[in-house]
Chain A
Amino acid sequence: MSFSLRSKDRTPEWKGSYAHYDLVKELCIALGAMTLLAVVLTILFSSPDEKPSTIAQWSRSMPADFLTTATSELDGTSGTAEYGPPYNNGTGSVQHAAFLKPQEWLGVSHPIDSAKAYVIEPLDTIPNDPGVQRAIATYNAAPAKQQLAWSEAYSKALEKATFAADGSVKLPAGAYGPVPAMMSSLLALAQSGGLEGTLVSSSQFFQTDYTKPLLFMADGKLLEERAEKLHLLGEQWGMMNETGSYPGQSWLWLYTFWYQVEPFKSSTNADLLVVLAMTVLSLAFVLIPFIPGLRDIPRWIPVQRLIWREHYRAQRT
């Protein structure tokens, strides 16, 4: 006998009565109904379109956070700089589950050198500014320990910094090396809107990959603060939510549920563990016909008697 996928049951082929049923008409009616429903919902509620955040906005509305983030990119302490694959060989966000280490196995496929990508290369695009070029040269020539000392001191000083209307930064006295000069120029570039374009088109003219600017903004607080107001954070079950009061991806309820309970909630490998759990459950969902117990519940809880009550009634009479 040839192999075939059959669940264990003895449901015979139907040899009983048939009634007229116009499938094509049913499809046309359904199409009309669904189109009408979609149009009515559109007229009633439209759709959300929260304007995207930009690096220019970020640098103007939250200059301290922008500079703190840029400094952490420069000294390699940002979330992106320490992330790990696929961006670099850091270990800050590398996840594993027992012997499973797919993130490491797949390696660095989208390399990002955060200091170069977010600070040095954008500054190099500023024309006619020998001061910036000198600052970069001074920074690059210094030993790593000195570079880190400058940037740590600068980040700490930013907590007490004041920002003038012209965008200039006033810091308390300290040993920051060339970092303030570099960061001031970067801030000016960002506030003028030039940093966005630089980050997107750094490798070629035509680009559709927004990874660099998105990771940069995600390293700061702008996106997160905005998301919190819109109930989109993970701990707010945000995965299911849409901006405003629109219904979101409610079908992700079980996926986001796991992040709210232990052991996933406090695990540093939460993402991988949740994906594995959902993979197992999804497989079980697909293979219900072959899972004893799960496939028998419809027999134990006979909702089907309501569905086929007309048929059963006719059988009895």
Chain B
Amino acid sequence: MSVAATPPKSSTPGGAGGQRSWTIRTREAGVAALPPEKLLPDGQPTYVGSWIYVFGVATLAALMVIVGSGMILSLKGPAWWHYTGVGRFFNSIHLWAVELFFFTTVVHLWGKYWMAAWRGGRARVWITGAVTFLIAIPAALTGYVSQQNFDAQWISTQAKDAMNATGAGAFFNVTNFGQMYSWHILLFPIAVVALVCAHVLLVRRHGVVPPMDLATELAGVVGASPPTHPDGHAIATRPAAPAAEAPLGRPMSQEDEVAS
């Protein structure tokens, strides 16, 4: 592909029609929201200096191990792990990865709660994370009832009462192995992975939440005036970043803060 100094918006002739191109608009919106250096930055703010920060990526890694071991389990079908040592091995990895996933998720969410990580327009980051956790629970449940052993028999015959009481049992039958297995290996993983992607992309877009400003915190004022210096340091201010590099493609204004 040729590299032009100022490439045209559209690579096809008839530029005026190209301006209405959904492809171009999608691409430009995506790149505006997440330019490469924001999608995959090689630096982080210097306040990112605590072990609590690794629990997000640890959760992501645990999810990858779950999906990977799950894929191997599904290669030979749901009964495989009952009668081979290799199958049992991967079933065990799958189970322990699930325990690790929930472990790291909980530590991660505790950390994010105490950091009030929803600040600065990051409510959607919190919401997508919380919903992921909530969706992961029935995802795990469908796995438990798909085991085809006594545990599955017991859990399904018990869980059916809660499902039926809420009316969910009319279309989500925990005693139907075929249905539960399908939800477990396809529908719930898609939902969890999609939510995790949204969560991570939102973090990349908004950046890691800055520390709370101690001056206003000590004064006990919620929503007080911003610190004297935009970067919160009690030293000379850096020039404000160019408008094109601010989150959401425009700089935050006082009106935005007040209106929220």
- Is there a chain B Cβ closer than 8 Å to A24's Cβ? yes
> Which of A120-128, A138-146, A190-198, A245-253 contacts the other chain?
A245-253
Residue of B nearest to A1 (CB): B259
B26 at the A/B interface (Cβ < 8 Å)? no
Contacts A30-B60, A271-B162, A315-B234 given; indicate if A227 touches B44 (C-beta within 8 A): no
Q: Which of B102, B156, B178 contacts A250 (CB 8 A)?
A: B102
Contacting residues of chain B (237-260) with chain A, CB-CB under 8 angstroms? 237-238, 240-241, 246-248, 251-252, 255-257, 259-260
- Least Cβ–Cβ distance between A46 and chain B, in angstroms: 5
| Known pairs A209-B173, A211-B175, A286-B134; A9 contacts B181 (CB<8 A) | no
CB neighbours (8 Å) of B181 from chain A are: 208
A107 at the interface (CB under 8 A from B): yes
Interface-side segment among B16-24, B27-35, B113-121, B186-194:
B113-121
Judged by a CB distance under 8 angstroms, whether B137 is at the interface is yes
Which residue of chain A has its CB nearest to the CB of B89? A42
Check A41 against B157 for contact (C-beta < 8 Å).
no
A172 at the interface (CB under 8 A from B): no
**Does A48 lie within 8 Å of B151, measured CB to CB?**
yes
Q: List 18 A-B contacts (CB under 8 A).
A: A4-B248, A9-B120, A11-B210, A12-B252, A16-B46, A21-B43, A27-B60, A47-B88, A52-B153, A93-B161, A106-B169, A211-B176, A271-B162, A275-B162, A286-B131, A311-B211, A312-B214, A315-B233
Provide the residues of chain A in CB contact with B131, threshold 8 Å. Answer: 286
Chain A neighbourhood of B149, CB < 8 A: 49-52
| A15 in the interface (beta carbon within 8 A) | yes
**How far, in whole Å, are A49 and B217 apart by their CA atoms in the complex?**
53
Is A103's CB within 8 Å of the partner chain B? yes
A217 to chain B: which residues have CB within 8 Å?
153, 157
Cβ A21 vs Cβ B44 within 8 A? yes
> With A275-B166, A308-B47, A311-B47 known to touch, is A295 a contact of B130 (CB < 8 Å)?
no
The answer to whether B233 touches A52 (Cβ under 8 A) is no
Q: How far is the CA of A251 from the CA of B104 in the complex (A)?
A: 12
| Interface-facing stretch out of A32-40, A62-70, A149-157, A181-189 | A32-40
- Which one of A52, A252, A295, A299 contacts B150 once the chains associate, using CB atoms below 8 Å? A52
Contact: A13 with B246, CB < 8 Å?
Answer: yes
Do B166 and A304 touch across chains, with their CB atoms under 8 A apart? no
Q: Which residue of A lies closest to B181 (CB)?
A: A208
Could you say which of A23, A30, A83, A315 contacts B232, with CB atoms under 8 Å apart? Answer: A315
What chain B residues lie within 8 Å of A133 (beta carbons)? none
* A241 CB, min distance to chain B CBs, angstroms: 10
Does A288 make an interface contact (CB < 8 A)?
Answer: yes
A251 touches B165 (CB 8 A): no
Q: Which residues of B contact A137 (CB under 8 A)?
A: none
Assess whether B10 is interfacial by the CB under 8 Å rule: no
With most chain A CB atoms within 10 A of its CB, the pick from B91, B151, B234 is: B151
> How far, in whole Å, are A226 and B236 apart by their CA atoms in the complex?
71
Contact A42 B223 (CB under 8 A): no
Instruction: List residues of chain A with CB within 8 A of the CB of B95.
Output: 47, 246
